[in-house]
Amino acid sequence: MRNSIGKINITAEQKNELLSWSRSTSLDYRYVVRAKMILLLCEGKTYDTISLQLNVGKTAIAKWKKRFVNTGLEGLKDAPRPGKPRVYTEVDRARVIQKACEDPQGGYSSWSQRRIAAELGMAQSTVNAILKEHELKPHKVEYWCGKSTDAEFESKMLNVIGLYMNPPQNALVLCVDEKTQMQALDRSQPELPMKSGAPKRQTATYKRNGTVSLIASLAVHTGEVTGKVIDKNNASNFLTFLKQLDRKYTNKHLHIIVDNLAVHKHKDVKAWLERKRKMTVHFTPTYSSWLNQIEIWFNILSKDVLKGGVWKSRQQMIKQLLEYIKTYNKTRMKPFSWTYDGSKNISPNKKSLH
């Protein structure tokens, strides 16, 4: 349905798109201004008013109004420029590629297109075109699981995966680890709610209300999570948590999977475990904590709770974390399914939920 607003016919869909453009922080600013021009014209504003408000000339207003009337939103985009495309030589390509692959100087850790262009005395658009052509992204970093230095890597890995895939009878496999130093951050001003064309917004300034550490276990074959807030990540708290698991899961032999953190190998922990015939601790290989499935759940926790969270106090954050664990166990608890098929081009720490 078309509505005539001012002197321009505009659809509801076009209006929503123009509103999105006008609020965007990622579009080139010229498109933001053009969208605001059209919206103001639709409100019946005069050229004089728009010119003063947006600091643009009346000729420009008339131009983009005409373009929009004739071709809609496409008319607000820049038309292709005449002339031959910019040509750069093989020497130019080689210089850009070499510079992008070098370690930058001056304290920088990575290159930007602007600094490559400045170093080589070239236009940034040329640098962008060459990098795009060769699929080079010097600003981007990806992470992968490096090779473990553990001489017993294979035997430890097979032990852990064996417990996942074929657990002993009358046994329970629990993955345990700590997530420490979670900051209870409050924002300096109230959060602005999400609205059409704009996400939820928070101030960049914040107040620290302390940190929270959590020790948690994941029952591998049921997905149940047990969590406890701790004041310090030490052997005493780890041992207390093991005792809690021992009381919770009676009449089962508990196989506890942990990483190589020193607190997990403390003498007090070892002494207590020697007296517990129905509890066995298994260590993941060095630099291979990704084998511990609790790390998957910690990633889920970060996305669901920590990202974008606002807490007035440390206690408020603790309450939310414990409430989330209860909700997770009631509504989402299920075992993780490993999807690695042995292919060399697939990272073995890629997993999915089924």
Which pLDDT value is given to residue 251? 87
Contact 91, 130 (CB under 8 A): no
Which pLDDT value is given to residue 341? 54
**Residue 128 and residue 158 in one domain:** no
What's the one-letter identity of residue 46? T
**Residue 95 and residue 183 in one domain:** no
**Residue 299 and residue 214 in one domain:** yes
**Residue 109 and residue 189 in one domain:** no
Radius of gyration of the chain (CA): 29
C-alpha distances out from residue 290 to 110, 128, 146, 161, Å: 27, 36, 11, 12
The Cα–Cα gap between 182 and 213 comes to: 6
- Is residue 141 one of the residues assigned to a domain? no
43 pLDDT exceeds 70? yes
Which pLDDT value is given to residue 255? 97
Which pLDDT value is given to residue 24? 85
State the Cα torsion 152-154-159-163 to the nearest 10°. 150
pTM to 2 decimal places: 0.63
- Is residue 332 one of the residues assigned to a domain? yes
pLDDT higher at 79 or 268: 268
- Is residue 139 one of the residues assigned to a domain? no
Instruction: Please report which confidence band the pLDDT of residue 321 belongs to, taking 50, 70 and 90 as the band edges.
Output: very high
**Residue 169 and residue 129 in one domain:** no
**Residue 215 and residue 312 in one domain:** yes
- Is residue 84 one of the residues assigned to a domain? no
C-alpha distances out from residue 113 to 91, 98, 99, 106, Å: 18, 13, 10, 16
Q: In 72-112, which residue ranges form alpha helices assigned H by DSSP?
A: 90-101
- Is residue 14 one of the residues assigned to a domain? yes
**Residue 310 and residue 168 in one domain:** yes
**Residue 54 and residue 105 in one domain:** no
CATH of the domain at 187: 3.30.420.10
- Is residue 215 one of the residues assigned to a domain? yes
Domains identified in the chain, total number: 3
Which pLDDT value is given to residue 141? 83
What integer best gives the mean pLDDT of the chain?
Answer: 87
Q: How many CB atoms lie within 10 A of CB 198?
A: 14
348 pLDDT exceeds 50? no
- Is residue 169 one of the residues assigned to a domain? yes
The Cα–Cα gap between 18 and 34 comes to: 9
**Residue 218 and residue 338 in one domain:** yes
**Residue 109 and residue 29 in one domain:** no
Among 10-19, 172-181, 257-266, the minimum mean pLDDT is found in: 10-19
**Residue 14 and residue 60 in one domain:** yes
Among 67-81, 120-134, 204-218, the minimum mean pLDDT is found in: 67-81
- Residue-range definition of the domain harbouring residue 298: 153-353
**Residue 162 and residue 311 in one domain:** yes
SS3 (DSSP) at 344: coil
- Is residue 306 one of the residues assigned to a domain? yes
Which pLDDT value is given to residue 313? 95
Which pLDDT value is given to residue 187? 87
